[in-house]
Amino acid sequence: AQTVTQSQPEMSVQEAETVTLSCTYDTSESNYYLFWYKQPPSRQMILVIRQEAYKQQNATENRFSVNFQKAAKSFSLKISDSQLGDTAMYFCAFSLNYGGSQGNLIFGKGTKLSVKP
Amino acid sequence: ETGVTQTPRHLVMGMTNKKSLKCEQHLGHNAMYWYKQSAKKPLELMFVYSLEERVENNSVPSRFSPECPNSSHLFLHLHTLQPEDSALYLCASSQDLWSYEQYFGPGTRLTVT
């Protein structure tokens, strides 16, 4: 069975600084996807970034980037130039890759990030 | 905001009540999902529908009864709930079953008294 662990229940960062959220996962499979979802206080969860396990290059989306270490089963999210609007719960998620179709999304417990002015 | 809406946003019900949660997606997607989000626990997938057919039921108690009358609407009928069922219930949709991007609704905050 696959599991996702986020070891930091809460974190805070000053506006404009950089913060890294940690995520580790466990799987015996080699073909899968990893995701970071953001859930702001308004509660609508949105996809921030996605990584395919077969790609060595780390995914980036503007100020958001990941550090994907497949051997270590680690998938951290780096937020650069933090903004007040980045305050949210961040969920790391995993799904298997069935030939291009993903399987069930498995979520971690989340990290509550507060960006302070 | 995404094209997935949920009503009501907040619901308080007694253990003997019957209520329904509604989800509607305006994205033309073919798959819809119900998740349960409890404090300090990972999101739990409850039900999955693809083209109005239920394709997954993750050992959810029968006091939760889903209904998908068409690909745009998803309901979760509730009856005889327990206080431990209090949680945020999230609906999501995706273009096709298990498409990599799921679009989430804002959720219904349910309190069972």
pLDDT tens per residue across span A103-114: 678 899 999 999
Cβ neighbours of residue A111 under 8 Å, at least 6 residues apart?
A6, A8, A9, A10, A11, A21, A22, A89, A90
Best mutation target among A32, A34, A45 (most B Cβ atoms within 10 Å) is: A45
Quick check: A33 and B107 CB within 8 A?
Answer: no
Quick check: B40 and A109 CB within 8 A?
Answer: yes
Quick check: A102 and B106 CB within 8 A?
Answer: no
* Percent of chain A whose predicted confidence (pLDDT) is above 90: 77
Quick check: B2 and A106 CB within 8 A?
Answer: no
Quick check: A43 and B101 CB within 8 A?
Answer: no
CA distance B61 to chain A (A): 19
By C-alpha distance, the chain B residue nearest A41 is B106
What's the pLDDT at A46? 92
Q: Which residues make beta-bridge pairs with A115?
A: A13
Joined tokens for residue A96: 């298997």
CA dihedral A96, A44, B107, B98 (to 10 degrees): -20
CA distance B75 to chain A (A): 18
Low-confidence ranges of chain B (pLDDT < 50): 1
Distance in angstroms (rounded) separating the CA atoms of residues B8 and B5: 9
What's the pLDDT at B2? 55
Which of A45, A50, A106 is facing B104, going by the closest CB pair?
A: A45
């913060």: which residue's tokens?
A: A19
Tell me: the pLDDT tens digits for A41-74?
877 899 999 999 989 899 999 999 999 999 999 9
Which of B43, B92, B100 is facing A102, going by the closest CB pair?
A: B100
Cβ neighbours of residue A44 under 8 Å, at least 6 residues apart?
B1, B2, B104, B105, B106, B107
By C-alpha distance, the chain A residue nearest B46 is A104
CA dihedral B36, A41, A13, A79 (to 10 degrees): 70
